[in-house]
Amino acid sequence: SQQGEEDPQALSIQEGENATMNCSYKTSINNLQWYRQNSGRGLVHLILIRSNEREKHSGRLRVTLDTSKKSSSLLITASRAADTASYFCATDSYNQGGKLIFGQGTELSVKP
């Protein structure tokens, strides 16, 4: 069962530009997490935002959460070629038994 859906599916930008990825979900959540995955590698946790939080920052990353719209966004500022990866949102929902469900991801390409 799919909970989070990322948009866009693919994004190509130049180094130094900002990248924004969106995630929409269907049911109420406890928290929403963003992960990065480089090709052929494991998933790296970026940020966890709880349902009672609206914004969190970590270095060049900014995550917002709008529970009324059931959506979240991940902003990467001043992107670098090393940010090239797939980005996934994952939701932890109480009424789904606390399952951690991933979306299909956004593939980000940052060109030098």
Partner 1 sequence: EAGVAQSPRYKIIEKRQSVAFWCNPISGHATLYWYQQILGQGPKLLIQFQNNGVVDDSQLPKDRFSAERLKGVDSTLKIQPAKLEDSAVYLCASSLVGGRAFFGQGTRLTVV
Binding footprint of partner 1 on the chain (CB under 8 A)? 1, 30-31, 33, 35, 41-45, 48, 88, 90, 92, 96-105
Q: Which tokens belong to 13?
A: 């930008």
Cβ at position 43, least distance to partner 1 in Å: 4
Pick the closer one to partner 1 by CB: 19 or 89.
89
Cβ at position 4, least distance to partner 1 in Å: 8
CA atoms in the 13 A half-sphere facing the CB of 48? 9
Phi then psi dihedrals of residue 83, to 5 deg: -80, -10
| CA-based end-to-end distance of the chain | 37
DSSP structure class, residue 96: G
What is the Cα–Cα distance from 94 to 27, expressed in whole angstroms? 9
Pick the closer one to partner 1 by CB: 98 or 112.
98
The helix/strand/coil state of 80 is coil
Cβ at position 49, least distance to partner 1 in Å: 11
Cβ at position 16, least distance to partner 1 in Å: 28
Pick the closer one to partner 1 by CB: 59 or 97.
97
Pick the closer one to partner 1 by CB: 41 or 69.
41
